[in-house]
Amino acid sequence: MVSLRTLFFSLIIIVLFSSCTHDNEGVIEYNITYDQSPDDNPLINLMPTSMDFYFKDQKILTQIQGWMGIFKSIQMSDLEDSTNVLMMKLLDKKYYYVRHLRDAPLAFETLNIKNIEYSEKDTLYKGFNCKHAKVYMNDSVATEFDLLYTDEIKIPSPNRNNPFSEIPGVLMQFRMEFKGIPLRLDFKAYRDTVFPETTFAVPSSYKKLSRKEMSDFFNELNAI
């Protein structure tokens, strides 16, 4: 008779080695690059170089760090209770703000997108079949850029807490802005994994803020 212990570890092995099935629990890694060089802007040396996107069932979590670990930002949302949690850390200051997913995001969480046009063109990118879209920004120079996304990684509403919420798939190549500096994010790797429950929980060391308090804190951060 197979013991529960043997069955448990067998199931873990199946999850860890079934990347071709793209299960509902895993992590996506992105590389971050900048249009400016460190010679043009010394701040680039302190900017984030990677982003991690965790998902499990109805939960997703995006994490980005910069300034050699001094700054950390986490977006975490759960479709089961329709909440979104923004966590921000600067040195020893650790705060979080909770909103309903139907509520408007904070101003600094948005991009001023005018329109998104979708294409039927398919591209094989790093092993995934991807669709194309073109994003038109509502700015003074009419910025536009191409975006890649895929539906081969099955995550419900994967862009629910980022500026590309209408994109029907996982982002593979796109652009954002951090402290007023344009950046590009490129899919690096995907792997199935198993997370402890604490991965999607707010640490006890974080203090809860109101909407206004979190906006004020970001303005303080942006002034650095």
pLDDT in tens, 161-177: 899 999 999 999 999 87
The per-residue pLDDT of the chain, averaged, comes to: 85
- pTM comes to 0.83
**For residue 103, what pLDDT is reported?**
92
| pLDDT of 153 higher than 60 | yes
**For residue 147, what pLDDT is reported?**
96
The CATH number of the domain covering residues in 24-222: 2.50.20
**For residue 129, what pLDDT is reported?**
97
**For residue 41, what pLDDT is reported?**
87
**For residue 224, what pLDDT is reported?**
65
Full 3-state SS string of the chain: CCCHHHHHHHHHHHHHCCHHHCCCEEEEEEEEEECCCCCCCHHHHHCCCEEEEEEECCEEEEEEEEHHHCEEEEEEEECCCCEEEEEEEECCEEEEEEEECCCCCCHHHCCCEEEEEEEEEEEEECCEEEEEEEEEECCCCCCEEEEEEECCCCCCCCCCCCCCCCCCCEEEEEEEEECCEEEEEEEEEEEECCCCHHHHCCCCCCEECCHHHHHHHHHHHHCC
**For residue 22, what pLDDT is reported?**
47
**For residue 23, what pLDDT is reported?**
55
pLDDT in tens, 4-57: 343 333 333 333 333 333 458 999 999 999 988 888 888 888 888 999 999 999
In terms of pLDDT, which residue wins out, 195 or 29? Answer: 29
**For residue 69, what pLDDT is reported?**
75
